[in-house]
Amino acid sequence: MPITVKDYSWQQTEKEIFISVPLKGAGASNVLCSEDYIKVSFPPFLFEVFLFAPIDVDRSITKIGNGIILFTLYKQEPCVWESLSLVNVTKKTMQRLREKAVTRVQEKAKEEAQFKAVRKRENEKYSLEVMMKIDEEERKCIEQLKEEERRKANEELEKFKEQQRMEEEQRKVQRELKRKEDEKRRNAVNKAMILDSAKPSVPAETVKPEKTVPPTRISGSIKIQFTPRVFPTAVRESRLAEEEEWLQKQAEARRAINTDNVDLQDLKEEEKNPEWLKDKANKLFASGDYLAAVNALNLAIRLNHKMPTLYLNRSACHLKLRNLHKTIEDASKALELLTPPVPDNAVARLKAYVRRGTAFCELELYVEGLQDYEAAIKIDPANINVKTDAEKIRRIIQGTSITPD
């Protein structure tokens, strides 16, 4: 015997119905939706409702995620329903509505299957025609490329032959010129020999002394030594005082930024008070110095990690710095410490839900963000800003949701 789910929530406008059903940790679920009947089976639980008036199934949307099922239903006729489900429905009428819904869903599934089969055959036919056209175009393109390559090869062959012919002609001309020069040289040598034989002999000339060449210089190297300092300057231009002052300022800056390594014994008396640190962080936050505010709150949390306001304020700083995962962690820690939920901590819980929901939405986890905004609305149902933001998130979810089977 299934357990009927009764802790669901629903809202409506003149044209739409919003239903949120918790899955209670169940895994797989079976959803059935028709014009006047909705059923969600996730054993051992069962949720079903016989709708007050018919809805437009084709436009309606179902979103499953993060432990809930969110229905967005569109009314066929704009009006305000007196209730979500019909009242005083007999078992016979309930059984008839169930069978009618199952029959409609089966018929719709059959029609969709037939439509998909026809669409698939048409797509296959179209794909085949497209592939044949592509093959034909590729074949023509290949033939054109081959023809172009043949034309280029013929042109290059003709150019090569013309170049070879011109080179051969140039070689012939050069050989002819060389032959004529050799002949002139031989004629000149023969003429000179004839003239020398006719002249009287003369004493041989004195041999000129050879010129002396100076020896090559010996190579060497010059060593250069640099000053090992932070400021790269030579010893004669040393800036040791400025360097030590700069290093001291850098160390102080690092200590100011990293509060995790601060020794608590070195703190001033007022710096050991978490309330004083919280007020200081508030002033830094108001001035726009969010990182310094985070450092002050880090130190305050080290002194007292049981104050929920410290985590709540640090989540606001992280949200300004776009540290979205840290925003979620601090808001969750604040909600963990804000127990039990009482009227005195209602404002703090409202802020924690809104900040965590905003961080979820910035990470595009819209279902989780909507859950936090709905929790904030339960704390303060009259908050118009929170309701408006929740409606915007719901619209975003509808734009990225799936249509129910």
CB 170 within 8 A of CB 178: no
End-to-end CA distance of the chain: 25
- In this prediction, residue 240 carries a pLDDT of 66
CB 319 within 8 A of CB 357: no
pLDDT tens digit sequence for 274-301:
999 999 999 999 999 999 999 999 999 9
- Per-residue pLDDT averaged across 263-280, rounded? 79
- Single pTM value for the model: 0.39
Q: Given the DSSP bridges, would you call strands 45-50 and 37-42 parallel, antiparallel or unpaired?
A: antiparallel
Token digits for 116? Answer: 């998909």
How far apart are the C-alpha atoms of 323 and 326, rounded to whole Å?
A: 6
pLDDT tens digit sequence for 109-121:
888 888 889 989 8
CB 329 within 8 A of CB 294: no
How far apart are the C-alpha atoms of 356 and 47, rounded to whole Å?
A: 29
- In this prediction, residue 93 carries a pLDDT of 83
- In this prediction, residue 112 carries a pLDDT of 84
- In this prediction, residue 237 carries a pLDDT of 55
Q: Give, in degrees to the nearest 5, the angle at Cα 358 between 257 and 385.
A: 125
- In this prediction, residue 199 carries a pLDDT of 52
Of 39-53, 115-129, 263-277, 304-318, which gets the smallest average pLDDT? 263-277
How far apart are the C-alpha atoms of 305 and 314, rounded to whole Å?
A: 12
CB 36 within 8 A of CB 17: no
Does pLDDT of 321 surpass 80?
yes
Report the CATH fold assignment for 3-89. Answer: Immunoglobulin-like (2.60.40)
Looking at residue 101, its amino acid is: A
Distance of CA 379 to the CA centre of its chain: 35
- Per-residue pLDDT averaged across 257-273, rounded? 64
Same topology, domains 3-89 and 268-399? Answer is no
- Per-residue pLDDT averaged across 237-257, rounded? 60
- In this prediction, residue 401 carries a pLDDT of 47
Token digits for 288? Answer: 């726009």
Q: Does domain 268-399 have CATH number 1.25.40.10?
A: yes
- In this prediction, residue 291 carries a pLDDT of 94
pLDDT tens digit sequence for 30-66:
888 888 888 888 788 888 888 888 989 888 898 888 7
Residue in 128, 108, 127 with CA at minimum distance from that of residue 116: 108
- Per-residue pLDDT averaged across 351-362, rounded? 95
How far apart are the C-alpha atoms of 148 and 171, rounded to whole Å?
A: 34
Domain boundaries, the chain: 3-89, 109-193, 268-399
Of 196-210, 255-269, 271-285, which gets the smallest average pLDDT? 196-210
- In this prediction, residue 346 carries a pLDDT of 94
CB 35 within 8 A of CB 104: yes
- In this prediction, residue 210 carries a pLDDT of 56
- Per-residue pLDDT averaged across 83-98, rounded? 83
Torsion of CA 116, 121, 127, 128, to 10 degrees: 170
CB 40 within 8 A of CB 62: no
- Per-residue pLDDT averaged across 89-108, rounded? 84
- Per-residue pLDDT averaged across 247-266, rounded? 55
- In this prediction, residue 259 carries a pLDDT of 55
pLDDT tens digit sequence for 145-171:
999 999 999 999 999 999 999 999 999
